[in-house]
Chain A
């Protein structure tokens, strides 16, 4: 078997999710090649070549791939991937965007968001917002798969020595163009891969109050997230949303502040190793999944938490 992994990156660095996807590829078994498509991605290709278990890195470096337009990436990946038995990428918004195009162009099904590999053709994935877990067998000759990164421990970022090969395939479908973007700038770790996440919900009452969480987050080196209720209320931007329809996270420590614990939210964080809930409503469902629950007014508890952490960190 031969597996093609499409690297996730932002044209400046390789995303850790790529290492989780390589881990999923290792669980399938076979030669693993990584395709890095983007613009000015030489350093990213070098980083991918060092990842554990990678055989070869293929590089498609062209302005046509600079903004990861699905129309162009879809054609490229279908062309490069047609001779592989499996094509994998991370189930981030980029992978979710282009990968179904690849499957359709190859006339095969896609298996979305897998969290476990049972065998080369059988995979486990959540359905119904994580309320059920399905084991699915794919019969197509090429398996097109998106991988939920938190389902697989990443391979080592260093130690590999794959060869790097430039591709001269340029696919510009001419259907779409990039207009602009608004990316949240932050020095905190990426929400999806952070070791500690502290999230606020409707109980935060407004966006300004999230500063309290940011101060605690900076003490612990944590990322800051939010529930859908907090995002819908306009407290914080959508990219901070943790939940079935937002980011799926599985950090070592997840601290839920003023979050009641709707099913939608639990689906996005219940694989965290340790969960802490701070909520003044002792009946809140979040306490049913929390390892440590504190029934308290968050406006008193969070500043105290900051003080206590300063003593021990």
Chain B
């Protein structure tokens, strides 16, 4: 079974985000970039499926600037077999990303597509669901467990109030949540080997998709900051303040 994994290059999750002084966006100049954490979980899940003998080949795809090939190489070092880079310097929004991935799905015909549930930059939580709709596949979003059985996949999902399990016909789309697995680190020999794994580059035009953003960002601001209040000496003072000053109990 072939598994397709989509990964995104984003700001490293340890970097403190700073809004540009002119309010046009977030300052990404000279900032450390990395694979989106939810995408790392997607790669890890695919690799585990291969280790279990469920997946036979893992193809990893990324959309973005030339530098996104670093994240594809990372995925190859973690165990993916082959990379596809859809190169563009333009801002790609969720709907266009889903259309590009749909074109890749039609070419590669994977049985399972795994994506992160959201990227930590735009926080949209859309691309996997949109891809599923455009390709007519079922979806298991916010997955905490993925079990492939015959021509179906059972996905346990993290939902409000607990967990829910759905069975999906294959091919299907899965989006990962935090507790699906704990991603491994790439070993040095695997990082070296990954450099020799095949990586195809193509443009959105090669896939017949026009990048035409429907959303425009008018401004980006820093959130209103909250001021630290006071320290209370003991529990009695705390309860007194809550009752008589804040009047919330």
Contacts and interface: CB of A to CB of B under 8 A. Distances in A.
Contact of B158 (A112, A137, A239): A239
A85 interface: no
Task: Give the size range of B's interface with the partner.
Answer: 35 or more
Contacts of A293: 228-232
A101 B127 CA distance: 9
Contact of B123 (A109, A127, A270, A273): A127
Contact of A289 (B142, B168, B228): B228
A1 interface: no
Contacts of A174: 169
B162 A289 contact: no
A69 B166 contact: yes
B166 A178 contact: yes
B220 A127 contact: yes
B169 to A, nearest CB: 6
Interface string A107-120: 11111110000000
B234 A312 contact: no
Specify which of B19, B93, B139 lies most central, judged by the most chain A CB atoms within 10 Å of its CB. B139
Contacts of B129: 70, 74, 97-101, 104
Contacts of A97: 129, 139, 141-142, 157
A244 B223 CA distance: 14
A220 interface: yes
Contacts of A288: 226, 228
Contacts of A136: 215-218
A134 B24 CA distance: 9
Specify which of B17, B132, B166, B226 lies most central, judged by the most chain A CB atoms within 10 Å of its CB. B166
Contact of A292 (B164, B179, B241): B241
A136 B222 CA distance: 15
Nearest to A270: B226
A109 B211 CA distance: 13
Contacts of B217: 134-137
Interface stretch (A38-46, A54-62, A204-212, A301-309): A301-309
A128 B161 contact: no
A180 to B, nearest CB: 5
Given A140-B214, A253-B248, A104 B160 contact: no
Interface string A85-106: 0000000111011111101110
Interface residues of A, number: 91
B98 interface: yes
Contact of B232 (A112, A238, A270, A294): A294
Nearest to B95: A109
Nearest to B249: A220
The B contact surface, by secondary structure, is mixed
A308 B239 contact: yes
Contact of A96 (B141, B167, B219, B241): B141
B235 interface: yes
A197 to B, nearest CB: 11
A276 B123 contact: no
Contacts of B11: 128
B238 A71 contact: no
B17 A128 contact: yes
A137 B214 CA distance: 8
Contacts of A308: 235-236, 238-239
A111 B93 CA distance: 11
Nearest to A177: B167
B215 A128 contact: no
Interface in A277-296: 282, 287-296
Interface of A: 10, 67, 69-71, 74, 92-94, 96-101, 103-105, 107-113, 122, 126-140, 173-184, 192, 196, 220, 228, 231-232, 237-239, 244-245, 247, 252-253, 270, 273-276, 282, 287-296, 301, 304-305, 308-309, 311-313
The 8 closest A-B pairs by CB, nearest first: A175-B138, A100-B129, A291-B229, A109-B214, A104-B133, A104-B130, A131-B17, A101-B133
Given A10-B161, A135-B219, A239-B162, 16 more contacts: A93-B160, A96-B142, A97-B142, A101-B129, A137-B217, A138-B215, A175-B137, A180-B165, A238-B158, A245-B177, A253-B242, A287-B231, A291-B229, A292-B231, A293-B230, A294-B234
Interface of B: 11, 16-17, 19, 26, 93-95, 98, 120-134, 136-139, 141-142, 144, 154, 157-169, 172, 177-179, 213-223, 226, 228-232, 234-236, 238-239, 241-243, 246, 248-249
